[in-house]
Amino acid sequence: MFYEFEIYFVNAVSHRYKPMTQTIEQKITLYDRDLNLWLEEAIAKLKAGDFQNLDVENLIEELEGLAGRDRRELKRRLTTLIEHILKRCHVKSEYDYAGWVVTIARTRNNIQGILEQSPSLKGYINSPELFQKAFEDALKVVKANPDYKSVNFPKTWQFSRDVDAILNVDFWEED
C-alpha cells in the first residue's frame, strides 16, 4: 500500500514555498493480507516453540476477540431462548407451539455446548445484568411483531433466572 502526500519546503534563496511530493510505502503484513494463513503460521510457530518470531500484538488481539465472541454468542442465544419461551408461554397459537419448542430445545443445546467447552462462562451467563439485558432485548423483539400486539407480555421475567432452570424447565407447563 502506498500513500502519497505533499510536503512544503522553503527555498532558502527565494523564500517561497514549493511543494515536494513524496511516496511512502506502508508494509502490509500477512495478518492484514490473509488471516487464515497468518493463523496457520502462528500455530506452527507456537508448536515449534518459535516465540521470537510470533506476531504477539495481533495474537493477543485475536485471543481477546475469541473471548468476547463466546460472551456475545451466549448473550445472543440467551436472548433467542427467552424470546421463544415468552412466545410459548404467552402467545396462544397452537399452530406455532411445536416450532417454538424446537427452537427452545436447539438453543438450550447450543448454550449447553458453549458452557461445556468453556465452563468459566457459567458465571457470565448467570449474571443478573446479562439476563436483564437479554430479557429486555427479547421483549423488544416479541413486542415488535404485529401479530402479538394484543398479547400482554410481562414487563419482568416471571420465572427462575438460574441458568440450570432456564436450560431445563419447560415454564409453559407450570401453569
pLDDT at position 67 is 84
pLDDT in tens, the chain (175 residues): 455 555 555 455 445 555 555 555 667 888 888 989 999 999 999 999 999 999 999 999 999 988 899 999 999 999 999 999 999 999 999 889 999 999 999 999 999 999 999 999 999 999 999 999 999 999 999 999 999 999 999 999 999 999 999 999 999 987 5
pLDDT at position 1 is 47
Cα 147 versus chain centre, distance: 29
Can you give the pTM of this predicted structure? 0.74
Identify whether the C-beta of residue 104 lies closer than 8 Å to the C-beta of residue 85: yes
pLDDT at position 24 is 56
What's the CA gap between 172 and 148, in Å, rounded?
17
Task: Give residues with Cβ within 8 angstroms of 171, minimum separation 6.
Answer: 85, 88, 89, 158, 159
Q: What DSSP assignment string belongs to the chain?
A: -EEEEEEEEE-TTT--EEEEEEEEEPPPPHHHH-HHHHHHHHHHHHHHT-GGG--HHHHHHHHHHHHHHHHHHHHHHHHHHHHHHHHHHH---HHHHHHHHHHHHHHHHHHHHHHHH-TTHHHHHT-HHHHHHHHHHHHHHHHH-GGGTT----SS--S---HHHHHH--GGG--
pLDDT at position 30 is 86
pLDDT at position 84 is 97
